Amino acid sequence: MKIAVFLQTCPQRRTDRLPTIASIEQSDIGTDFTVLEHPEEQDLRTFFRHVLEAMADSGADYALRLEDDVVVNRHILHNFSNWSALDDPLFGAGWLFVPQAALSSQCRTSCGVKYRSVAEMWAALAVAIPVKYVPACLNELARSEARSEKMTQDFPLSRGVWHMGKRCFFHEPSLAENRDPPTAFGTKYPPRTKKQHLFAGSTFSADWKRLLTTTPDLTP
């Protein structure tokens, strides 16, 4: 399985992103990732289209898009590539950063199965998606532009796979956490909303590693 890793960032975070880069390099990603920096003269929608196009053209099986304000699990590639959800016919994308609120029934996580039961999912800080599904996300980005919707980087991903009949699955434990540096656009959130909706909290584990089970060879 080939996983192409992309770090999406902007000039305002050239210093603030250094802990994220250090975390990535200390994980099993190492230095094998691509940094995509938002050109200052380019609007967000155009740049995000460029990010999705880079993912689609990567030639990998999966693309992992990270934002520049996370820290990641040390075994993130191992844990993702051995995740049983990848074999589910409904798998459309993997949210590897899972905010605490997303796991509550009030936020419409399907009962007994950790995937989103509505089209929209927020907090796309660490999302892995089959490369073959990325064109659907590009199509959704174009549709949102045609509808003159406010630009968001979360909904083109979640809606894109939803319209394919797929779902956004949540990895537990979370394989990334929000570092909470100053926002690039000055966005402010109420404290309680911020804690529940923007942080994985106790659902994140920096050192957790999935144990692989093997079937005993009973051949005489």
Q: pLDDT at position 150, please?
A: 87
The mean predicted confidence, pLDDT, of the chain is 88
Which ranges of the chain would DSSP assign to H, the alpha helix? 18-25, 44-56, 76-81, 134-146, 155-162, 191-198
The torsion angles phi and psi of 49, rounded to 5 degrees, stand at: -60, -40
Token pair listed for 38: 């938002």
Instruction: Tell whether pTM > 0.85.
Output: yes
Q: pLDDT at position 185, please?
A: 41
End-to-end CA distance of the chain: 32
Residue 51 in this model has a pLDDT that exceeds 80: yes
Residue 188 in this model has a pLDDT that exceeds 50: no
Could you report the per-residue pLDDT of 121-159, keeping only the tens digit for each?
Answer: 989 999 999 999 999 999 999 999 998 888 889 999 999
Do residues 167 and 161 touch, judged by C-beta distance below 8 A?
yes
- The residue assigned the tokens 């656009």 is 185
Could you report the per-residue pLDDT of 90-104, keeping only the tens digit for each?
Answer: 999 999 999 888 877
Comparing C-alpha atoms, which of 175, 5, 214 is closest to residue 94? 175
Confidence of residue 215 (pLDDT cuts 50, 70, 90): low
Q: pLDDT at position 184, please?
A: 45
Task: Count the alpha carbons within 13 Å of 115 in the hemisphere toward its beta carbon.
Answer: 20
Confidence of residue 7 (pLDDT cuts 50, 70, 90): very high
Concatenate the DSSP letters of all residues of 153-176 into one string.
Answer: SSHHHHHHHHTTT-EEEE-SSBSE
- Please give the residue that has the higher pLDDT: either 191 or 154: 154
Q: pLDDT at position 189, please?
A: 45
